[in-house]
Structure 1
């Protein structure tokens, strides 16, 4: 399903936005209020900023093409600065003051988990843009997500390690919500893939040197590979320290660093690093008959032309969330939150930047492991591992 399909049968109106102080643009009052709380500034801005830009761009395009079911969208965006307590306060504002019908946002696992009970209680559908499996497991009726889970990332990495004959693995994980959750998932599924964790180290969000932890990992018996669950600047520091110590085994990162900014931060040390990510990062490298190619090429082209910056998977998660919601509105013929919830849960065959989405009452993400691509950084860019 493409953006064009999502926009059929709608009438034009200017987009309305609010950012942090709820500033608005556009003369006419929109009728379908969609909320978003994102980490636009702060340590997780690399997640929230491209998501905010994506939502702004596509709501404007949707409204210019006619809105949804003949009604324009009003997008109300607040900046949590990556703070879970602030995110919860802003979510309350969206529910009680702004009276939104749905939410597309939540840049991190921590902010998402702080907000999700509020949307559950208010019975307003919430499509999160964060990675932790805890967001959708166990399933909450009104909570959904678009990115691949951290558990899937562990499984995809372990599949690649198996193919390379690697089984003795050292973990170095961030202690934030995502890193902590992914570490737990990687430990949980290791035995399924014949992986033995021979070292298990962590680092805090303010740490600027991971040399001591990596030295412990380097000294582990029979070490064959290292995996770093985490996001933000931490993985770039790990990657640089890893190279400085001359650790002569493969280094894997998570989809939490799937943007060009990671390569820029890590520099030459990123050479050869592997990670699971969506096809968006290698859009033009996909074969012409790949069913995902057109979606990711179109989004990449539009985003980079509009904002003059490289695309990231984090903006792609926002695209998927918004388009899943618009598709649900169109199918439901309504913006009633309960009807939207039901329609989102019935999403089937939706092709997004993360892959084909097929949700069920037991699966509020709808992606399988084939939606991940294994990538390797070569000469400062992404390549597909064949």
Structure 2
């Protein structure tokens, strides 16, 4: 009898503590960045439900632990620690914002937990942290796309106005560093805070420099205020936004002032405008239709970031298994994967795997997105 009990005890101890895949998520569901974080949350919940209906990943169901960071770096750190220590997750998707991701980057390394960020800053993956990946295109790619566009249009005098946060600071750095390479002259360099209610002071200074184009780098309501103030002041410079406004919410907030605004973005927003044989079209339309049918709201590139991050995680688990080392090793060999942001070719030295071709240039026309050919 004692021998039997001993054998049973060994068998019990041999069973994993959790016979499931435990996935953590951190999104700015409320707060100023909620229009980014909410579609990420909704997308991830939809994907987890879909994969579980099909039997899970490698035969195991996914249990999701999702927390709201409110867009705050401190909340991101607190909730990431909870996910790792209390919820015992196998990996984490998010956060929404660049600053929040940078705030927890060292925690991912400390706790040896794979992190699949939904934020854009190049600094998330450079310098390399073996535990940290990201799904959005980098600000470097966006700046290159914008500067190439301006060069083709014969424009070179550029004014920049950037947010004083992680995303804005990273974008400003790239705008300044890449200007000479593309023959751009920075004639004005202004900043704004996310909480600013009026940008006319900064834009008045910019108007005195008579730029060919004004490039605004930010997320949330503030860039919409920049667009409104540009129109109110009657500035005739080309207005270019970053990929941080690639959501119908920006058009809603800016109203008529959004008309004519140009920006780099992923192909998701113009999926139906792509050629029939475009390699991205099927993936984009399938995701777009599923999301819009379920939530009765327009798809955004930010929800797409969660889609791509989940696919990285799913690939890592499916190909490698649940150990940290196996997840990382598998994802570092994820190549020619067609996602919503572009074609991913992730390696041990590149934890994003995208390049400038992941962006297209769009123009806002009649309250909608128009692909610039």
1:310 to 298, 305, 325: 298
For 1:78-157, what aligned pairs fall within 5 Å after superposition?
78-157=67-146
Structure 1 segments, 4+ long, off by >4 Å, are none
Shift of the 76–30 alpha-carbon distance from structure 1 to 2, 3 Å rule, reads farther
- Distance in 1 between the 2:315 and 2:348 partners? 18
- Distance in 1 between the 2:19 and 2:272 partners? 37
Q: Secondary structure at the match of 1:98?
A: coil
2:30 aligned residue: 41
| 2:218 is aligned with 1:218 | no
1:74 to 44, 57, 63: 63
- Distance in 1 between the 2:298 and 2:19 partners? 31
Q: Secondary structure at the match of 2:179?
A: helix
- Distance in 1 between the 2:56 and 2:179 partners? 47
TM-score, normalization by structure 2: 0.94
CA deviation string 1:247-303 (max 9, x = no partner): 111100000000000011111111111000000000111111100000110000000
1:300 aligned residue: 288
- Distance in 2 between the 1:370 and 1:158 partners? 14
- Distance in 2 between the 1:103 and 1:228 partners? 31
Q: 1:30: Cα distance to partner?
A: 6.2
Q: 1:223: Cα distance to partner?
A: 1.5
Where structure 1 has 5 or more consecutive residues not aligned to the other structure, the ranges are: 1-28
| 2:180 is aligned with 1:176 | no
TM-score, normalization by structure 1: 0.91
Q: Secondary structure at the match of 2:363?
A: strand
| 2:150 is aligned with 1:161 | yes
1:60 to 36, 43, 49: 49
Q: CA RMSD in A?
A: 0.9
- Distance in 1 between the 2:129 and 2:288 partners? 32
Q: Is the 8 A contact 1:94 1:100 kept in 2?
A: yes
1:26 aligned residue: none
| 2:211 is aligned with 1:250 | no
Q: Secondary structure at the match of 2:264?
A: strand
Aligned residues: 356
2:366 aligned residue: 379
Q: Is the 8 A contact 1:124 1:341 kept in 2?
A: no
2:177 aligned residue: 188
